[in-house]
Amino acid sequence: MLAKAGEGTIYRLADRADIAAKVFHRDLVGLHEKLAKVTAMAGTVPEGAVQTDGFVVLAWPQKVLHSGGAPVGFVMPRINTAQAVEIHSLSNPSNRANPLPTAPQWPAEATWAHLVTAAANLCLAVDVVHHVDAVIGDFQERNILVSNTVRVTLVDCDSMQFTGPDGRQYLSPLGRPEFTAPELAKVDLRHTARDKTSDLFALGLHIHLLIMAGNHPFLRGIWTGAGDQPDALTLAHQGNWAGGPGSLLLTHPLAPPANFLPNEIQELFTRAFTLGARDPGARPTADEWRQALSRIQIISCARQPRHQIPAGTDICPWCDIEAARNARKTAGRSARLEQTIMPALGQQLSPPMATAASAPASVSSGGSSNRLLLWGLLVLLVVVGVTAVLSNVLPGDNQTATPSHGVTTTSRHPPIPKGDWRTTPIVEFPSGLPAPRQLWKMTIAGTCDEGGSCGLNNATPPIRRQIDWSLPTCRTDTR
């Protein structure tokens, strides 16, 4: 077994190292429909799905797999994943600079030239799909693998939208919001066919992520419109993208501006995100993107040779970003403040005991009945005190007041009263008055990123190959 996914399990074949088998789970919902789909796909393998040297561009179903005479899955080209990474491990600068210990380490050596080449190779893979009646649909980063020579493979092809030779259409109901074309924002993809122009929107996003330092054009920027920044789908529907012409979303200070790119690339982004918001047909095709990216001439920055930029530009965004980051760090150190300290919580004191002396202050807000009660208590205390004194100086019964507040016969010779003796009656709080509070109450306030059949049916494209770039020959860094 090579892997286990939501729809099935992928196995290696003992006698074939070049192919793998995917067996669907028996309890998979819509299993009959899925088997019919891969049967149709196996009969229409796109030209260029596997390159002449054996590199797999599309993990496309090639043959139907049977068990006991019944279809259970399909076989597809086997991908060498030893040095392959999902595309976000390359496009995201943090992921690229700090690969996981168990993952391939080559992305840390990738330069901007490698990222531009990977973008061009992705375009070729999309173009291969679009030369049959298929739409990628769920065109998200986990379905795109990049090898250490920056060649690109599209996986999970059996989830693509596909129209069979008999005209039967098999839809692609899945999709990530941040890679979904704006015209499909409120569409039920379980019942709606996509057009390949929706793939071209997602393709533009992936290219932007690769060559613009991992910045999503509809997620990161400075919002200048009214209210809070809208979500990515709303911005895409409006055509507001970071740095776009007339956009309310400006380029983030720590992101490269679009104007450092060649004019041809800037125009393609405008077609993809600005004009394409109103007219999906205005979006550049995968082949247009591939050719434009292949024409970029890359040079080193005069100030910092490890920075790579397009020839003809006088802007090095990587130098500017580094300077902005250093300025923020310096400002943060100079403006560092100490936190405010308040008394420690959790050290609760016990409520004070009510005494005859403290009782009047505690109940001073009571009514007339409470005041009469207190006067009665005071008179009683005076009488008790006078009686105690007289009993000690006048002859009579051998009785004495004791600290236990009772009358106890002790002896015929009473003891001499001590000066620290006090009579302390138990005084209860009158009903209706709040009990004393010793609890702190604190309130903490805080604040807290696809319709219709498409493509050229049975068209035969010219044979093209992805650019194979060996990383060890180019080990400089980029941002």
> What pLDDT digit, counting tens, does each position of 425-439 carry?
444 434 444 444 443
Cα(15)–Cα(450) distance, rounded to whole angstroms?
Answer: 40
Out of 1.25.40.10, 1.10.3720.10, 1.10.510.10, 3.90.550.10, which CATH number does the structure's domain 83-323+450-473 have? Answer: 1.10.510.10
Q: Do residues 316 and 112 touch, judged by C-beta distance below 8 A?
A: no
Residue bearing the bigger pLDDT, 386 or 379? 379
Angle at 450 between CA 145 and CA 273, to 5 degrees: 85
CATH superfamily, with its number, for domain 1-79: Phosphorylase Kinase; domain 1 (3.30.200.20)
Residue bearing the bigger pLDDT, 86 or 415? 86
- Percentages (nearest 5) of helix, strand, coil residues in the chain: 35, 15, 55
Weakest mean pLDDT among 5-9, 291-295, 376-380:
376-380
Q: Which long-range contacts (CB under 8 A, 24 or more apart) does 352-359 make?
A: 352/436, 354/427, 354/428, 354/429, 355/424, 355/427, 356/381, 356/424, 356/425, 356/427, 359/427
Which pLDDT score, from 0 to 100, does residue 1 have? Answer: 77
Pairing of β 134-135 and β 144-146: unpaired
Q: Which two tokens stand for residue 262?
A: 């060649």
Cα(250)–Cα(205) distance, rounded to whole angstroms?
Answer: 17
Q: Do residues 137 and 161 touch, judged by C-beta distance below 8 A?
A: yes
Residue ranges per structural domain of the chain: 1-79, 83-323+450-473
Q: Which two tokens stand for residue 227?
A: 């209210």
Query: What is the band of 186 on the pLDDT scale with cuts at 50, 70, 90?
Result: confident
Closest to 479 (Cα-Cα) out of 114, 149, 139, 51: 114
Cα(426)–Cα(54) distance, rounded to whole angstroms?
Answer: 97
Closest to 72 (Cα-Cα) out of 120, 27, 114: 27
Query: What is the band of 195 on the pLDDT scale with cuts at 50, 70, 90?
Result: very high
3-state secondary structure of 81: coil
Mean pLDDT of 60-70: 94
